[in-house]
Each structure stands twice: as C-alpha cells, then as structure tokens.
Amino acid sequence: MLRHHSYYEALATLDSASPSWKPTLTGLAVLELVETARADRSIVDADWTGVRAVVDMVEALREGSPLRRPLMKVVDELRGSGPNWHRVSENLFAYGRALDLDGEWPLAVDVFGTVAEMARADRDPQLAIEATTALGGSARRSGEWDKSASGYAEAAHLAEALGDKASGLTVRVGTANTQMARGNLPAAKAIFDEVIEEADKSGLDSVAALAYHGSASVAHLNGKFSDAVSLAYKALEKAGSQTIKDTIMSDLAAAFCGLEMHDAARDAYLVTSMTSRYQWVRWQALINLMELASMDGMSDAFEGYGRELRHAALDPRLRSYFLLYYGEGCERLGREEEGRKYIEEARDFASAHKINQVAFDAERALTTAGERTRKTRVPTTWTESVPEDVAMVAVAMSQLRESAVSSPPIDDWM
C-alpha cells in the first residue's frame, strides 16, 4: 500500500500554482524524511543535500503559516546529532493539529496515523492515545466513519489499559461528536451529560470543557440558543487550552447571533481577534466581524474590516469566505453590482480550490441576490428580555472585550 496516499491524492487534484501545492508537497517531503531517518539514520547523514532541500522547502513556507513552525521543529530535530523521537512525534502531532484546524482533514488523518504508529513503536502510550483520538476526530470531520470509529476504539482500549480516566472520557466526547455529526442529537447529548457528570466529579476540568462545548453545540443545533450560550460559557470557564478557548468563543458568538444579540457576538469576536495567538483564528474572527457589520448597517466598520482582510495573506479557505461575505455585505448595503462581482469571484475561487461548501453557498447566493439588498437590521441590545444567565454572559463578554482593548495581548486571558 502506498504510504501517505492522501498526500498524493491531494497533489493530484491541485495545480502547481495553487497556494495549497507547496505546503502539501512540503508536508509530504518532511514525512518521508522522518521515515527514512527512522529506517536508517546513516542514509539521512549521507544525503545531506536532500535534507537541505527539504529544509529549504519548509523555510519557503510563508511566515505566519501555522504549518511552518512544527515542520521546522521536525527537520531541526532530524538534523541534530541524535534525534529525540518523542519530540519529533510531538511536533508532527502539532503539524497534524494545524492541518485539522485548517480543514485539511484527510491529510491530518494521515499525519495522526503516522504519529500513532511511531508512538506504538516507541512504546509511548500517552502519545498513542492522543494521536488515535485526534485521528478519530479528523476522520469524522472528513466523513470517514469507519476510520473514525477505529481510531476512537483504539484510543479507548489504550486508555482503559492504562487506567487513564481523562483520556477515556475524552474519547467518549469524540464518540458523542460522531453521534452529533450523524444527526443523532439525543444520543450525543446523553453521552455529553454522562461525561460532564463524571468529569466534574473527578475534577477533570479540561475534559469537562470539551463535554460542555459539545453539549452547547447540540443545543445550538436544536435551536436552543440561550442554552447554547450558558453551556459554552461553562466550557470557557473550564478550558485550559487557548485553541479550545478560541473555538468556544467562536461558537459562543454564533449562539449570540442566533439570539440576535449582535453586540454580545461582536464582543466575543473582538476578543478572539485581539487575543488569539493564531493569526488564522484572528483573521476568521475579523471575517465574522465584517459580516456582522454589514448585517447591522455599519458601513464604515464593514469597509474597514474589508480593507484589512483584502490585503491579508489568507489561506484559500479563509479567502473564499471573505469573498463570499464581502459580496453579500455589499448587497446588504445597497451595492448590488459590486456584491455580485465578489460573490462570483468567491464561487470561482472556491471551485478552483475544491472548497465545495463555499462554492455551493456562493452559487445559491447568486440566485437570491435581491433578497439581501438593504436588508440590514436595527441593532438591539441584550437588555431586551433575555434570560438572566445569558445576560450575565453578555456582560462578561463586554468586560473581556474592554480588558482586551486596554491590555497587551497575553497567552491566557481567562
């Protein structure tokens, strides 16, 4: 069987001029270098020009790319006198996480599978659990249900063998997420509730955060936006990882939008845009802020975000969403011809980069263009009859926004 088939498959669908071509080719080159070094380190030492070529490929990735840093750490470790394979595996795992966040799920599955193999060979059970759990999640997001189930099953087996309660419950969260993705919301909620009870009882805050977040997602899908806000905020209070916090804040903002509490949603997105350590997360928040500005008729803010994003080094996925939301925003503000131009560009750009959901949304937007013209809303405030706990979360978002504005960026803001 061809190793890293997903990489070759991805490259076969890309044009060499595509922005995704070089990062994908570079990731494949690093993975193959790792496997060569594990098989026979002397080959790597002898082929120093080949190693240099891989290093040059990594260094050529754009500054700020979330893929560049973990890949550079991998090659730096391999160039040392004797690589620490645990560190190599950890950095490959970080690379897989970056791919997962960027929506490159088949590639992430490949990387997590590689890390799991290395962890098993190196008798590193904790990393094997993390890698197989992450594999289960990425495979679920790419629709590979069997592979997802297999990843979670292996992670659960390892966690049980080690008596690792936290990891076992984390796997249960992954299983619940699979149920949710397949539309079985009652089953997902039941599992999340079980994990929340057990994690809270055992003082496992990071696991409880994942389960509260999942439960918030179930509430959102059921249209229970007030519950989604309350549950997401509980998740936020317990989360330790900045990456998890970023995701929760984004979903919290979306729940506020569901309640038409745009001021609170704007506060949540603003906090993320100022505090996240990840550039692509900050850009994603700005895109959402731009969309909110158009909905609320805030033309100056809409243009300000548009100017900043238009010249940013967005990856293809974010660029697609920017073009779509900017076009729809232009239409809402009465600039129909300009809006249609950007929506058409979003459709063509997304199609060229295989970002099918955006291409579909853009095509649909072109058929409903007249429905958005001048359809901005009159902003309302959260004081207008919302549950007390939701109002308290809105106040907390406002305070976080004020703190973020008045303070320099920090790694952990809560």
Q: Which residue reads 């099918």 in tokens?
A: 356
pLDDT confidence tier of residue 413, bands split at 50, 70 and 90: very low
Contacts with 76 (C-beta within 8 Å, 6 or more apart), sequence order: none
pLDDT of residue 276: 86
pLDDT of residue 412: 39
Please give the structure tokens belonging to residue 350. 């997304």
pLDDT of residue 378: 53
Average pLDDT of the chain to the nearest whole number = 89
How far CA 178 is from CA of 172, 194, 368, in Å, comes to: 10, 16, 33
Please give the structure tokens belonging to residue 28. 């494949």
pLDDT of residue 357: 86
pLDDT tens-digit map of 130-168: 999 999 999 988 888 889 999 999 999 999 999 999 999
Lowest mean pLDDT, pick from 106-110, 321-325, 364-368: 364-368
pLDDT of residue 72: 95
CATH topology of domain 1-163: 1.25.40
Secondary structure of the chain as H, E, C letters: CCCCHHHHHHHHHCCCCCCCHHHHHHHHHHHHHHHHHHHCHHHHHHCHHHHHHHHHHHHCCCCCCCCHHHHHHHHHHHCCCCCCHHHHHHHHHHHHHHHHHCCCHHHHHHHHHHHHHHHHHCCCHHHHHHHHHHHHHHHHHCCCHHHHHHHHHHHHHHHHHHCCHHHHHHHHHHHHHHHHHCCCHHHHHHHHHHHHHHHHHHCCHHHHHHHHHHHHHHHHHCCCHHHHHHHHHHHHHHCCCHHHHHHHHHHHHHHHHHCCCHHHHHHHHHHHHHHCCCHHHHHHHHHHHHHHHHHCCCHHHHHHHHHHHHCCCCCHHHHHHHHHHHHHHHHHCCCHHHHHHHHHHHHHHHHHCCCHHHHHHHHHHHHCHHHCCCCCCCCCCCCCCCCHHHHHHHHHHHHHHHHHHHCCCCCCCC
pLDDT tens-digit map of 214-269: 999 999 999 999 999 999 999 999 998 888 899 899 999 999 999 999 999 999 99
pLDDT of residue 3: 87
**pTM for the whole structure:** 0.80
pLDDT of residue 256: 95
For residues 189-212, give the mean pLDDT: 96
For residues 369-373, give the mean pLDDT: 61
How far CA 27 is from CA of 23, 211, 289, 354, 370, in Å, comes to: 6, 32, 32, 19, 44
Indicate if the pLDDT at residue 120 is higher than 90: yes
For residues 382-388, give the mean pLDDT: 70
Domains in the chain: boundaries: 1-163
Contacts with 18 (C-beta within 8 Å, 6 or more apart), sequence order: 316, 352, 353
pLDDT of residue 136: 93
Lowest mean pLDDT, pick from 61-65, 71-75, 263-267: 61-65
> Are 264 and 382 within 8 A, CB to CB?
yes
pLDDT tens-digit map of 255-297: 999 999 999 999 999 999 998 877 778 899 999 999 999 999 9
pLDDT of residue 414: 37
pLDDT of residue 410: 44
Q: Which residue reads 């001021």 in tokens?
A: 263
Over pLDDT 70: what percentage of the chain?
94
> How many angstroms from the chain centroid is the CA of residue 350?
18
Q: Of 223, 230, 218, give the one whose Cα is nearest residue 190.
A: 218
